[in-house]
Amino acid sequence: MRKLLRTTAAAITVCAAPAWVLGADFDGSKPLLCATIDAHFCDIGEVCYRTLPAILGAPDFVRLNFARKMLVGSQRSTPIRYMETGEGQLILQGTELGYGWSIALDTKTGGISVTLVNRDDVFVLFGTCTPS
């Protein structure tokens, strides 16, 4: 049993090591390719609904080009108007098609939380990024 626990602990350490090594890749110094994984849609006064990003019209992949300050999707590109580095995260904001959007990028793991909001509804997306 002890041997199994040590082997499991060693495997976890080896598998987690790349996240430690790649941590600097998510600080805004390198371009990233991000995939949307999960989505929620909320209307005022209604219960939020969980769905797939594609059903909401969200792109499967977007590129974050920090050097050009652009968010690049398959259909269109939009400028990143605001960037702020915080404790363990990078906040990006902009506007597109009548929505204000925000992205919170975890600088250790590359995970993202995204909101798109206008006066009528809110979209919340979750995903992950990798250096591109």
What is the C-alpha separation between 116 and 71, in angstroms, rounded? 14
Show the DSSP H helices in the chain as ranges: 2-22
Domain limits, the chain: 24-131
Question: Minimum mean pLDDT among 13-27, 53-67, 78-92, 99-113: which range?
Answer: 13-27
pTM for the predicted model, two decimal places: 0.79
Task: Give 98-121 pLDDT, tens digit per residue.
Answer: 999 999 999 999 999 999 999 999
How far is residue 97's CA from residue 92's CA, in Å, rounded to a whole number? 17
Please state the φ and ψ torsions of residue 74, each to the nearest 5 degrees. -75, -30
Q: Which CATH class is domain 24-131?
A: mainly beta
End-to-end CA distance of the chain: 42
Q: What are 34-56's pLDDT values in tens digits?
A: 999 999 999 888 899 999 999 99
Q: How confident is the model at residue 24 (pLDDT cuts 50, 70, 90)?
A: low
